Every structure is written in C-alpha cells, then in structure tokens.
Amino acid sequence: MKMEDMVLISVDDHITEPGTMYDQHLSGEALATAPKLLTLADGTNLWEYQGKKIPSVGLNAVVGRPPEEYGMEPTSFEQLRAGCYDVHERVKDMNINGMAASLNFASYPSIDGGLFIAAEDKAQALTHLRGYNDWHVDEWCGAYPGRFIPCGLLPVWDMDATVAELRRLADKGCHAVSINENPTVRKLPSIHNTYWEPLYRTAAEIGTTLCLHIGGGNASPHASMETPIEAWITTMPLAVSVGAADWLNLAALGRYPSLRIALSESGIGWIPYLMERADFSHKQHKAWTHSDSIFAGKKPSEVFRQHFTSCFIDDAFGLKNIDEIGEDNICYECDYPHSDTLWPNAPEFLWETIKHLPERQIQKITHENAMRDFTFDPFAHHKKEDLTVAALRAKAAEQGVDVSVKSSGGAAPLAAGEAQRPVTSGDIVQMFMKHAEAA
C-alpha cells in the first residue's frame, strides 16, 4: 500500500459558522431572535444572542496563516481562509489535503452547544438549536453527500427534548452528537446521575455515538500565568484522561453494551498507561470501592475497548503501541482549521507514522472505524477509488486550489517593541480578555 492509496476520514474538524446560516431554516420571530453575526467598527466579527456577545477565538481558525501570526487573532472573517466558513471552499481544501470525509464540530455556540444551554429563554434556545442542527445536517453536510459526517447538538437541559432531538437527527441520517464530558460545568447533573439514563438508552438503541470533545468540561489547567504557552498546549490532550476515566466508570456502559463514546481531539499515546492504571486500580481497590457493580467481572481496559474510540493527529508513540489500545478503537483526525492541523500535508505526516502497520490496520484507522462508529458510508455516494488521497489531490489540481501562506497582519501575542521571550499562558489569557471586553 502507498500513501496515495489511503482513504482518509477525519473525525475531528471545525466550522466557523457563516452569518447567513439560519436564513433558510428559520423564519418570522424565530429568525428575528436567532443568533446574529455582527461586524464592529474595527472590522471585528462577533456573535450576539439573548444579550450575550461571543468574541472570536483566533487559534480555532488559523489555517493558511503564517505560524508567527498565531495567537488570539484572527477576529474577522476577512482574515480567514474561506474554507473555514464556506462549504464549497472547505471541500476544495479537503481535496488538496487528500481528505475523503470530515466530521465538523460547532464553534460559536461552543462545541457542546453551551450557548443554548446557558440561554435564559429556553423555548427560543430549543428552536435555535434545532435550527443549527438543520443548517449543519441539511445545508453544510447536505451540500456534498458522502463528504461530511453530520454531528448534532442536544438540548440537554430538557431530557424529553433531548431524546426527541436524538431521534429526529437519526431520522436525518445524523448518528453523532456532541455533548459535554462533564455536564456539571453547565450546571447540569453529573454523568452518573439517573437524569441521563434516557440519553444513554436512546443513543444505544438508535446507534448514535456520543462525542466528548477536548476542553468542553475538564479544561487543561496551566500552572501559572507565567507558564510558557507551549507547556499548556503540550498537556492539553492529557486533560482528556480525566473525562475518559470518569466515563469508563459509568455504570450505564454495562446496561447498554452497544453504547459508543468518542473521545474527540484526544490523542492516543496516553491511553495504554491509563488502561494499565485503571486495571491496577480496579484490582487493588475493588474490595472497598465496590466497583464490581460497574465492571461486572470485566477489566476496565476491556470496557474501554468495547465502548470507546479515540483519535489522533500525529501520534507516533500511540501507533507503535496499537495492540495496547486496540485497532478497532482508533480513528484519524485533521483538526482543520485549528492551529494543530497539518493541512495541506496531512497524508505525508500520517504516512510516516502509519506505514509500518499492516494494510488491514491502516484501513481501519484511516476510515473503516469511523464508518462503523458514525453509521456513515461515503461509498454509497462515491466510488472508493475516487476518494483516495491521489484521486482527491488530482481533483484539487483541476480546481486550482491555492495553498500559499497568506498574512492578514493579525496582532502578535507580545506587545510591539517588546523584547523577544517565550509567550506565556498569561499573554494569551490577556489577549482573550481584551477581545471579550471589546465585545
């Protein structure tokens, strides 16, 4: 097998939603009260909803920019690569990157729909969340059947509405939903509370995977405001282990054997040790923790393999230890348009870390596991040979996709004239606060 033969499905990418997103899906009062994209006098874009203003977060849309301009910029759509918000340009960017299909998470409402969860007018919030899902499934994903895995949001403040939306999404062909790994940060019951039982039962019944995206609930801490920002960035994937351990101890997994959990933007290299530690902890402590009521004679690592999927961008260590993770538990991600993305050279980076594996495992990791977990079949719409890295890049060449790096003169993390030094966590926090205050 060659790099050019791979079929790549990314299970973690992101959308910068366009301001027109509700126009075709809502009308009247529902449209009038929907979230609005505003442009300030200085050109900065922000969203406004129910009296709240949501500033842009720059590192979520820096693809195609010079690395030295990374930071809390860009704050304007004019600074973005069009593939961030235009689905037609996104597909072109997927083609040049050899990406057959992509699962896209929300941006301005928060990855778990936190904007709607926190909204005071819950009747409006339900209408607008459903409108968001209709835009995402019908307009964004529907524009190119077989190229996008739809991923919905849920009105988790109302469990009856949540179950109804789960079923409605499934009827529309959407079998992935993004929820918070730790709902207590949204002032909702913990995942172990019986409140969530209908969600678990319904998701298992209809085959919908619950996506737990990094940073939603158990955010990665930084040691101090003087800590270099790279230390914070380095440890971000490790924060996923907190939620993973919590969900691994979820009693509902025993009640619903088919329930599937995706750890999104998680990395995989840390998983072997977490499973080793979980097995040791269970064996050593179960006599007094009574955890056998959860694991029912299984090792935690066995439960992980039955229920969990993780993904990686560039994780050579994890791929060297695939037997300790499970070849059925790993998917690939591109993370477009975030600052970690390897676009437009993702296939080259991936091939260097995956080429030592047998073709059977490569096929699973690059696309088959994603197809299974999200009930998604790109080959129902396209011939497999048309979705390989080589075929997609040939199409991108015909389309004349421009991959040149373009500066937009965004603000740097350090003040003009300041002596060069490592950018700190405090610098980035301060930049974000300035954007928030401007909003």
Q: Is the pLDDT of residue 157 over 80?
A: yes
Q: Which residues contact 370 (CB under 8 A, 6 or more apart)?
A: 9, 11, 101, 103, 149, 331, 332, 376
In three-state secondary structure terms, 263 is strand
What is the pLDDT confidence band of residue 183, given thresholds at 50, 70 and 90?
A: very high
For residue 248, the model assigns a pLDDT of 98
Q: Which whole number is the average pLDDT over 287-298?
A: 95
Q: What is the mean pLDDT of residues 85-93?
A: 98
In the block, residue with structure tokens 């179950």: 163
Listed in order, strand segments (DSSP E) in 116-180 are 148-149, 176-179
Q: Does residue 274 surpass a pLDDT of 90?
A: yes
E strand or H helix that includes residue 103: strand 99-105
Which pLDDT does position 42 carry in this prediction? 82
pLDDT bucket at 82, cuts 50 / 70 / 90: very high
Q: Are 173 and 137 in contact (CB under 8 A)?
A: yes
Compute how many other C-beta atoms are within 10 angstroms of the C-beta atom of residue 359.
9
- Quote the CA–CA distance of 84 and 138 in Å, as a whole number: 18
Calculate the CA 118 to chain-centre distance. Answer: 20
CA atoms of 179 and 114, how far apart (whole Å): 9
Closest CA to 102 of 311, 268, 333, 315: 333
- Annotate 177-217 with DSSP letters as a single string: EEE-S-GGGGT---TTSGGGHHHHHHHHHHTPEEEEETTSS
312: helix, strand or coil: strand
Alpha-carbon span 215 to 236, nearest angstrom: 8
**CA 60 – CA 58 distance, rounded (Å):** 5
pLDDT at 407: 87
Q: Rounded mean pLDDT of 154-170?
A: 98
- DSSP conformation class of 306: H
Amino acid found at 93: D
Q: Which two tokens mark 129? A: 């969340």
Q: Give the tens place of pLDDT for each residue, 401-439.
A: 999 998 877 666 677 677 788 888 888 788 776 666 555
Domain of 214 in residue numbering reads as 3-438
Q: How far apart are CA 421 and CA 30, in angstroms?
A: 49
The whole-number average pLDDT for the span 99-120 is 97
In the block, tokens 């050109």 appear at: 43
Which range among 83-97, 131-145, 229-243, 359-373 shows the weakest confidence by mean pLDDT? Answer: 229-243
Q: Are 16 and 85 in contact (CB under 8 A)?
A: yes
pLDDT tier at 262, thresholds 50, 70, 90: very high
pTM for this model (two decimals): 0.96
Of 155, 174, 37, 176, whose CA–CA distance to 107 is shortest? 37
112: tokens are 């778990």
Query: What was the pLDDT predicted at 410?
Result: 66
pLDDT at 73 over 80: no
Q: How confident is the model at residue 195 (pLDDT cuts 50, 70, 90)?
A: very high
Instruction: Check which CATH number belongs to the domain holding 292 and give it.
Output: 3.20.20.140
36: β partners: 48
In this structure, what token pair is assigned to residue 125?
């919030």
pLDDT (mean) for 18-47 = 94
pLDDT at position 122 is: 98
Quick check: bond before 358 cis, omega within 30? Answer: no
What span, in angstroms and rounded, lies between the C-alpha atoms of 113 and 106?
Answer: 8
What average pLDDT does range 292-304 have in this prediction?
96
Per-residue pLDDT tens for 202-230? 999 999 999 999 988 998 888 899 999 99
Kindly state the average pLDDT of the residues 83-98.
98
Residue 439, number of CB atoms within 10 A of its CB: 18
Number of separate domains in the chain: 1
- For residues 307-318, give the mean pLDDT: 97
**Cα 339 to Cα 77: distance, rounded to the nearest angstrom:** 17
